Amino acid sequence: MTDSDLLSIAKKAEGPVYVYDSSKIQSQYLRLKNAFSAVAKLKINYACKALSNISILKLIQAMDSGLDTVSIQEVQLGLEAGFKSDNIIFTPNGVSLEEIEAVANMGVQINIDNLSVLEQFGTKHPKIPVCIRINPHVMAGGNSNISVGHIDSKFGISIHQIPHVLRIVENTKMQINGVHMHTGSDILDIEVFLHASEILFNTALQFKNLSFIDFGSGFKVPYRKADIETNIEELGEKLSKRFNDFCKTYGKTLELAFEPGKFLVSDAGYFLTKVNTVKQTTSTVFAQVDSGFNHLIRPMLYNSYHEIINISNPRGRERFYTVVGYICETDTFGSNRKISEISEGDFVAFKNAGAYCFTMSSNYNSRYRPAEVLWYNNEPHLIRKQETFEDLLQNQILIDFKKKVEA
């Protein structure tokens, strides 16, 4: 997919539009699979929350991927997309026991990260196999909002509470078939994974009937030219050896699972917007686009970097622009960016817009959420229409204020 292909899509769209390159998603999946080819049983569970359009889910399901979900609605989407229930894992946080039970009744693998819920579920459903999510107390991740394995995190059962877990298992006679951890996102240092793996292996040894160990994900992807990323090939070589050695110690060949989201879809995505105005102040040149943090909140929420290119004038003279949106709050996508000269009416593309972008969009300022397009077999395919005014009103119930209220 070229810049001219993106420009053609942008011109035909009725507003901002997300575009995903299917070949990039497929190549990332194969890259991860090949990196761990030395492992006899490898399971890749795509993290649905990164990008949950059902066409994307169908594309990934066709590659024999499993699905990692965090809500009953994501489970339902997965089933609708063709994932079998035993190919889905449910890893929620802070949800009700009733939701967990409803998902368990669908035949989905349950992952619990709370002692109270573990005891309640085990007491009521001792024959349903359960995975436990541990907190390894490892600080990792590119941003405090996405570091989830440290001691103050709300996620996981502390490794210091494993004796309590064992007591619950003994008392309820429940079945533990997996152990899981997820330390954070945008983790660059391979040693973090390897250090956490030793904690996970030591925990796993305390459970005698495991089927799998889930290492979560959090692989760092590059956001700009010459940016550093997690060396998946090196991680695969080192972690595969440790995992295989552990299986020998455990006395059984277990399944090694990962739950990549950003790693699979981030670089495949582009967000295309139109420049409404070019505004020059005494100190700054603003390029104001027909979007805002209602469509792409990551730069404001995580201070994330998205490369911005002018696809209408890719070879123009470079100037410095601060790219902002149309929301009535500060919604700066990028400050003082060197971009090919921008004119009003030009289209600009935000790169690395495949993960946690559309799925975090909203109707703030009563703006429509954008369309989504999948580039597949060298052609664009519309996979979600832009919202309309009717969508804004849907599910709202109007009160008849003409009726008199009796005293």
Region of residue 282 (phi > 0: left; psi between -120 and 50: alpha; otherwise: beta)? alpha
Q: How far apart are CA 91 and CA 82, in angstroms?
A: 19
Supply 298's token pair. Answer: 């990551």
Return the residue matching tokens 């390159």: 21
Active-site option among 48, 131, 247, 328: 328
DSSP assignments along 127-192, one per residue: TS-EEEEEE-----SSSGGGB-SSTT-SSSEEGGGHHHHHHHHHHHT--EEEEE---BSSB--HHH
Contacts with 12 (C-beta within 8 Å, 6 or more apart), sequence order: none
Phi and psi at residue 252, to the nearest 5°: -160, 140
Active site residue 48: no
Given a contact cutoff of 8 angstroms between Cβ atoms, the answer to whether 11 and 365 are in contact is no
Maximum Cα–Cα distance for the chain, whole Å? Answer: 80
Question: HEC states along 326-378?
Answer: CCCCCCEEEEEEEEECCCCCCEEEECCCCCCCHHHCCCHHHCCCCEEEEEECC
The torsion of the CA quartet 260, 262, 264, 267, rounded to 10 degrees, works out to: -160
Residue 10 is classified by DSSP as: H
The residues carrying an active-site annotation are: 328
